[in-house]
Amino acid sequence: MTRARNEPGRDGKGTTSAVQSVDRAVSVLEILARHGEAGVTEIAGELAVHKSTAFRLLGVLENRGLVAQAKDHGKYRLGAGVLRLAGAAALRLDISQEGVPVCRELADELGETVNMAVPDEEAAVNIMQARGTASVTAQNWLGRRTPLHATSSGKVFLAHMPPALREGRLGRPLHRFTDRTITEAPVLRDELAKVFAQGYAVTLEELELGLAAVAAPVRSHDGSVIAAISVSGPVYRLTAERLPRLGGRTAAAAAELSRRMGYGF
């Protein structure tokens, strides 16, 4: 198929222009971080662009809350959006650091694989893993995006979502991974109510045959659920009879990490 004359190719001028615009926008943020505040003329000079170009860049950044303009003298400064992004990054760094000893202790005590996951749009992403003595041959979950409805961590996130957002997730088709995956919204809704009430979630061969897991919520200082600690292993070790005790112990570990993150103070 022949590309239209004005349609930029993957390596064409359109791509180059877009990358240049992103580079300039980041440079604007760096200029404001360095000077505290600056006017359009000053920013244009440092970027070596026309004032109209600098003004357009500032307009886009202002619309996204990344810069703000002072009403009294018209200069720009970094906006609250930058603080929001920085806070989210810092929170993940903090929880990773604080979670290491908690997850390691739990893995050593139980002998099973312990993961910590954070929510990411339609999935739970595992950002930390500690293996116990019984799980030396367990698969590596680190960095994997796992479905919300078929994992213990995902159920934790669904159970603590705002109702409207949760219903939006449940209103979409739910993929079946095994014969035990819950794909009916009413059944999953009842399951999530149970998760919320008992303080931990359970999955039994819902993502993979032979795999069982429990997970509990980790809260930030304001009480919002920011992560989940899970314990997983083969069903011959994590039997249905053993899962409630593991759930309680995992919930205790998650509560300890929540305390380290400032919850309850």
Q: What is the mean pLDDT of the chain?
A: 86
Looking at 63-77, 102-116, 151-165, 223-237, which range is the least confident one?
63-77
Question: Looking at the predicted structure, is the pLDDT value of residue 170 above 60?
Answer: yes
- Per-residue pLDDT, averaged over 52-79, amounts to 86
**Of 67 and 12, more confident:** 67
Give dist(CA 114, CA 213) in Å, integer: 10
Question: Looking at the predicted structure, is the pLDDT value of residue 5 above 60?
Answer: no
Sign of CA dihedral 33, 39, 45, 47: positive
- Model pLDDT, residue 1: 39
Q: What is the pLDDT of residues 178-195, one digit of tens each?
A: 999 999 999 999 999 999
- Per-residue pLDDT, averaged over 67-78, amounts to 84
Q: Are 70 and 77 in contact (CB under 8 A)?
A: yes
- Model pLDDT, residue 138: 52
212, β-bridge pairs:
204, 233
Q: Are 107 and 131 in contact (CB under 8 A)?
A: yes
Q: What is the pLDDT of residues 123-145, one digit of tens each?
A: 899 988 988 887 655 567 777 88
Copy the structure tokens of residue 111. Answer: 């002998």
- Per-residue pLDDT, averaged over 84-97, amounts to 64
234, β-bridge pairs:
211
Question: Looking at the predicted structure, is the pLDDT value of residue 244 above 90?
Answer: yes
Question: Looking at the predicted structure, is the pLDDT value of residue 81 above 80?
Answer: no
pLDDT-derived band at 91, boundaries 50, 70, 90: low
Copy the structure tokens of residue 206. Answer: 């819902």
Say which amino acid occupies 206: E
Question: Looking at the predicted structure, is the pLDDT value of residue 197 above 50?
Answer: yes
- Per-residue pLDDT, averaged over 215-241, amounts to 93
30-39, 51-60, 92-101, 193-202, range with greatest mean pLDDT: 193-202
Q: What is the pLDDT of residues 6-41, one digit of tens each?
A: 444 445 556 677 788 888 888 988 888 888 888 999
- Per-residue pLDDT, averaged over 215-231, amounts to 93
Name, in order, each residue with C-beta under 8 angstroms of 12's C-beta and a sequence gap of 6 or more.
Answer: none
Strands 113-120, 123-130: parallel, antiparallel or unpaired by DSSP? antiparallel
Question: Looking at the predicted structure, is the pLDDT value of residue 3 above 50?
Answer: no
